[in-house]
Structure 1
Amino acid sequence: MAHPAFRRVPHALGAVAVMLVASIMLAACTSQTGAERPPEPGDAAVAKVDGKTVWTSDVKREAVAQGLIGEGEPLDASSDLFRRVLDEVVDQKLLATEALKRKLDKDPIAQKRLAAARERILGDMLVESVVSDAVNDNAIRGLYQEQLKLAKQSEEIRARQIVVATQVDAEAIKKLLTTGASFEALAMERSTDAATRFNGGDLGYFTTDVMPEAYEANLKTAKTGEVVGPFAVDGGFAVVKVEDRRLEQPITLESARPQIVRFLTYDQVRDLLEKLRSRAKIQTLIRAPQDVPGQPKEPADAPKAAPAAPAAATPAPKAPPAKAAAK
């Protein structure tokens, strides 16, 4: 289960409910502080609801909460999306104002829900603060370089293939190639492999460990320019030409960045929660489940449940594997 600091309400009604309690708290604060000021530098007023200002940041925050844009992504105030979310924010403020008029915020249950919403918001703010300080470009580049050093570069092969139904047909293809026939032309004319036929049989660059065993066995020692086969494959017999061999190219920093950011974010939140738990006195007041005679039990080799850990929209990421960093 996701930690409250990373919990998000998945449906539109849930989002309205959370925004409603937040709006009630905001409305109460605004009525006490008097004049409104831009909540963020460069913020612009985009609407007023009964004299209370709706800011650009209010609309962007709601769009992020609904998953319509990512954190930090721009949202053009002239776009249809902005206007649609603005209408929703206005509706939420109207609902919150009406709830205050009806004194729903005084109800004990409402007080508990408001307090829970406040805790979620404060938890989110703490997490955002910790992550923004630690997950910076230097940290991302540092982990990327560390993974490159650990990565083992395999050899990549670029090859073309012609797949035909029988070994006799494949031998005939190979004989034509020895007389100077174009491999690409024969692939387009004779190959039965729909995935590669129309690009001249081009398989692109690959490492042999991701290919069927027959390819790995026949290509691992083949030299550049050599025609290999025929050998049996799914769908018939293949004749393969090795066009190039090179060391596997490492993944670029920009391609690796999202995975690295997820890992560093999880790492920071995990460390924060471990420190907070170590300093807090936590008592669990519910009993552990007891064995009931006749109740089915998990087999001894069943995987253990993962410990509760903070996660946003994705499971807790592992450190970027050295192998992956090299692809």
Structure 2
Amino acid sequence: MGVLGAVACALMIASCGQNKVAEKPPEPGDTAVARVNGQVIWASDVKREAVAQGLISEGEPLDISSEVFRQRLDEVIDQKLLAAEAVKRKLDKDPLAQRRLAAARERILGDMLVEGVVEKAVTEDAIRKLYAEQQKLSKRSEEIRARQILVGSQAEAESIKKLLATGASFDALAMERSTDQATRFNGGDLGYFTLDVMPEAYGAALKDAQKGALIGPFAAEGGWVLVKVEDKRTEEPITLEAARPQIIRFLTYDQVRDILEKLRGSAKVEMMIGKSQELPAGSAQEPASAPPELQGAAPASAPPAAQPAQSAKQ
């Protein structure tokens, strides 16, 4: 919310003749942090401004001794002074001002309705339930842990393979002979990975490789490769905490879509303009009153896809 939007909100209060706010805290545990011409500014007012500016998330604490809080407090004071001066000049009586104040009021009430509906629906139980459903539907790939030695020619790779057959250490040869600067100093260790993230040559060579196998040499970008398969395991699923933001995003959008469908279904809406040009398939817009953070949210018809486990885990 910019200065003009905040001033509009302040004008709504001022235009109702509320020159002083009651001393009683508007929220449990709230703290009075300033007074402007007898009107109290509460810590919650400043936090709300910080949330509107995207500096903190809804419900996130904001230390009243912090610089961020002090700066937002100054802005709230300025907003109240500007709004009071606007009322003094009777700008709130202007027909255009009345329309803008009414629009601001509708936006605030709509946001409050959405917040209330979402708060009741996006519960810990709902989050865990959707997470469990996603885990049942998700397909986890096989992860491989391997080491590699990359050299410039096939002949050199074959000679190293013979040394390995006599019991030479793969780690030591990787450090001594490999040209891959990213892995040679840790014994050629590639960590855990799925084949879909590897270059095509690796995917083809390791497709049916078993634990303990020595694969290669095979040609790849940069030279010839020997790979030792050290372990194979099923890919770890995404954790609940990692999936939580996406799940909350989906549940929130789903609730906004649901309430708008119900409201439009029971309302008489008459369009006074012609139909707009049809949008291309797959470019459906978010509901007009959806919160800005929901722009680009996943369609409500399908839950968010489970994310793959982190590759190259050591």
| TM, length-normalised to structure 1 | 0.86
Separation in structure 2 between the aligned mates of residue 110 and residue 289 of structure 1, nearest angstrom: 30
Task: Note the C-alpha offset of 1:32.
Answer: 6.6
Task: Note the C-alpha offset of 1:263.
Answer: 0.6
Separation in structure 2 between the aligned mates of residue 119 and residue 22 of structure 1, nearest angstrom: 11
Q: For 1:1-327, what aligned pairs fall within 5 Å after superposition?
A: 9=1, 15-29=2-16, 31=18, 35-288=22-275, 303=281, 305-309=283-287, 310=290, 312-313=292-293, 314-318=295-299, 319-321=303-305, 324=307
Unaligned runs of 5+ in 2: none
**Identity across the alignment (%):** 65
What letter is aligned with 1:315? Answer: G
Q: Cα gap change, 1:101/1:200 in structure 2, threshold over 3 Å: closer, same or farther?
A: farther
Separation in structure 2 between the aligned mates of residue 27 and residue 286 of structure 1, nearest angstrom: 36
Separation in structure 2 between the aligned mates of residue 140 and residue 18 of structure 1, nearest angstrom: 34
Separation in structure 2 between the aligned mates of residue 179 and residue 70 of structure 1, nearest angstrom: 61
Task: Note the C-alpha offset of 1:277.
Answer: 0.6
Task: Note the C-alpha offset of 1:159.
Answer: 1.2
Task: Note the C-alpha offset of 1:289.
Answer: 5.8
> Could you say what secondary structure the match of 2:292 adopts?
coil
Deviations 1:126-174 (A, max 9, x none): 1100000000100000001111111222211111222222222222332
Deviations 1:227-253 (A, max 9, x none): 211111122221111111011111111
Separation in structure 2 between the aligned mates of residue 325 and residue 216 of structure 1, nearest angstrom: 18
Task: Note the C-alpha offset of 1:105.
Answer: 0.7
Is the Cα–Cα contact under 8 Å of residues 149 and 227 in structure 2 kept in the other structure? yes
Task: Note the C-alpha offset of 1:191.
Answer: 2.5
Is the Cα–Cα contact under 8 Å of residues 30 and 36 in structure 1 kept in the other structure? no
Deviations 1:86-125 (A, max 9, x none): 1111111111111111111111111111111111101110
> Could you say what secondary structure the match of 1:31 adopts?
coil
Q: Cα gap change, 1:311/1:188 in structure 2, threshold over 3 Å: closer, same or farther?
A: farther
Tell me how many residue pairs correspond in the alignment. Answer: 304
Separation in structure 1 between the aligned mates of residue 276 and residue 119 of structure 2, nearest angstrom: 40
Name whichever of 129-138 and 209-218 sits farther off. Answer: 209-218
Separation in structure 1 between the aligned mates of residue 59 and residue 276 of structure 2, nearest angstrom: 44
Deviations 1:192-218 (A, max 9, x none): 333333333222212212222221221
Name whichever of 80-89 and 215-224 sits farther off. Answer: 215-224
RMSD: 2.2
Separation in structure 2 between the aligned mates of residue 155 and residue 134 of structure 1, nearest angstrom: 36
